[in-house]
Amino acid sequence: MKKILLVHTGGTLGMSGRRPDALKPGSFFRTVRERVPELTELASLEFEVFSNIDSCEMQPELWSKLAERLAKRLPEFDGAVVTHGTDTLAETACALSFMLPGLKKPVVLTGAQRPLGEIRSDARLNLIDAVTSAIHGPREVTVCFDSHLYRGNRVRKVSIAEYDAFDSPNHPVLGTLGVDARFSEGVAWEGRFKLTAQLDPRVFLLRIFPGLDPAIPMAILPRVKGLVVEAYGAGNFPSSKELGRSLTPIFERAKDLGVPVLVVSQAHRNGVDLSQYESGNAARTHGAISGGDMTVSAAVVKMMHGLANHSGDALRKYLERSVAGERT
- The CA distances from residue 261 to 171, 227, 251, in Å, are 24, 5, 7
Nearer to ligand ASP, 120 or 192 (CB): 120
Contact between 54 and ligand ASP per CB under 6 A: yes
Burial of 193 (0-12, 13-18, 19+ CB in 10 A): middle
Nearest approach, Cβ of residue 92 and ligand ASP (Å): 10
Measured in whole angstroms, how far is the alpha carbon of residue 84 from the centre of its chain? 12
Measured in whole angstroms, how far is the alpha carbon of residue 68 from the centre of its chain? 17
For ligand ASP, the binding residue among 6, 7, 8, 12 (CB under 6 A) is: 12
Helix (H) or strand (E) holding 222: none
Residue 83 designated active-site: no
Number of residues that bind ligand ASP (CB under 6 A): 11
Nearest approach, Cβ of residue 157 and ligand ASP (Å): 8
Nearer to ligand ASP, 59 or 328 (CB): 59
Which position among 9, 12, 86, 295 bears the catalytic label? Answer: 12
Strand order across the beta sheet in which 289-290 lies: 203-207, 226-231, 261-265, 289-290
Contact between 60 and ligand ASP per CB under 6 A: no
Nearer to ligand ASP, 111 or 186 (CB): 111
Helices 28-35 and 123-136: crossing angle, nearest 10°? 90
Q: Binding string to ligand ASP for residues 64 to 93, with x set by CB under 6 A, is what?
A: ---------------------xxx------
- Alpha-carbon Rg of the chain, whole angstroms? 21
Applying CB under 6 A, which residues contact ligand ASP?
Answer: 10-12, 54-56, 85-87, 111, 113
Positions marked active-site? 12
